[in-house]
Amino acid sequence: MTSNIRKKTARHIRITVGIVLFFVVVLIAAGNFMLYTALRPDDNVSFSKENAFERLFTNYPDTKQWIDSLEQAHALRDTFIMGEGSYRIHAFYVKAASDTASTAIIVHGYTDCAIKFMYMGKMYHEELGMNILMPDLHYHGESEGAAIQMGWLDRLDVMRWIDVAHNIFGSASMVVHGVSMGAATVMMLSGEPLPSYVKCLVEDCGYTSVWDEFSHELKNRYGLPSFPILNVTNLLCKWKMGWSFREASAWKQVQKCELPMLFIHGDSDTFVPSNMVYPLYVAKPYPKELWITKGVAHAASYRNNPSDYTEHIRKFTQKHMQDLTVSETTNE
């Protein structure tokens, strides 16, 4: 009798352990799937300059003439440096007509690249008369890298690009402007010590933290709660990539930022929900400004309102950058 009870107990234990191990294996598999789906998407592996320019000209036809004129004058240049993790990272740059012009560093979004964001470069260069430098973030465009960094380690690369831009252009004032993941990068950067010539920052539809954004996507796309899949994915990211979703927090970083920052967000954004901008804005000490664009989806504020967008950037940079560009001066 006792022997039968022991056998049944042992069998129950084996079954329980088996079920637990099964669920652990499933969770690890799901975590790995989410990690590599989010941070190593196939479209970054198959990057081509031709396709990127075609996409740019399709979405923003007015950029083609500008790009053609730059290429004819050999003014569109690029460079490589060593980034975080000893990978080569790439950027395009264009000098302004004036030797005393300010400089804009423009940071692209998730799975995009510098070429696709040349529309923003055109705004700063042609409309505002600034030098521009546009990096390809880690694992994007012509930059190398093991995986997308969601802005966290990218902030360290952008700090390198700030130094490079200063060496190239020698500007006394600089603005750093990011959209979507690029906006999160700018906010994560904002909590770090920056050179005195960086005068102001612009973030357009950035997320509060990587944890919050992935949690939102799990619920929005798959109807799943963050626990336990995101917890497992976070541990795998820490183990394999060296950083965690919770530490990659724009909200924590902006609390340390003393530079002027302009927050822009479309009120119809569902990819990075528009309600994320409010805790970010509240957390950021003054000086700061907030512009909510009406009826605008994710990363579409410029496309929907190019003139208004340009004027907001013009006024913000005029207000906070010490040396006005030639274009700004003539518009006063």
Calculate mean pLDDT across residues 275-295: 97
What was the pLDDT predicted at 324?
Answer: 43
What was the pLDDT predicted at 31?
Answer: 63
Which pLDDT band, with edges at 50, 70 and 90, does 326 fall under?
A: very low
CB-based contact 267:294 (threshold 8 Å)? yes
Of 44-48, 66-70, 196-200, the one with minimum mean pLDDT is 44-48
On the question of a cis peptide bond just before residue 41, with omega within 30 degrees of 0, the verdict is no
Which pLDDT band, with edges at 50, 70 and 90, does 4 fall under?
A: low
Of 80-89, 130-139, 195-204, 258-267, the one with minimum mean pLDDT is 80-89
What was the pLDDT predicted at 152?
Answer: 96
What was the pLDDT predicted at 332?
Answer: 37
Of 201-210, 218-227, 232-241, 293-302, the one with minimum mean pLDDT is 218-227
What was the pLDDT predicted at 317?
Answer: 96
Interior/surface letters 233-243, b for 16+ CB within 10 angstroms, e for the rest: bbebbeeebeb
What is the pTM assigned to this prediction?
A: 0.90
Which pLDDT band, with edges at 50, 70 and 90, does 86 fall under?
A: confident
Name the fold adopted by 48-209+248-330: Rossmann fold (3.40.50)
What was the pLDDT predicted at 83?
Answer: 82
What was the pLDDT predicted at 331?
Answer: 39
Of 30-34, 107-111, 278-282, the one with minimum mean pLDDT is 30-34
d(CA 279, CA 180): 16
What was the pLDDT predicted at 325?
Answer: 43
CB-based contact 246:209 (threshold 8 Å)? yes
Centre a 10 Å sphere on the Cβ of residue 322 and count the other Cβ atoms it contains. Answer: 9
CB-based contact 205:265 (threshold 8 Å)? yes
Calculate mean pLDDT across residues 109-138: 96
Chain region(s) in the chain for CATH 3.40.50.1820: 48-209+248-330
Calculate mean pLDDT across residues 87-101: 93
Of 114-123, 147-156, 189-198, 231-240, the one with minimum mean pLDDT is 231-240
Calculate mean pLDDT across residues 205-229: 89
Q: How far apart are the first and last CA of the chain?
A: 97
pLDDT, mean over the chain: 88
d(CA 80, CA 139): 14
pLDDT digits (tens, 9 = 90+) for 220-242: 888 777 778 899 899 989 988 88
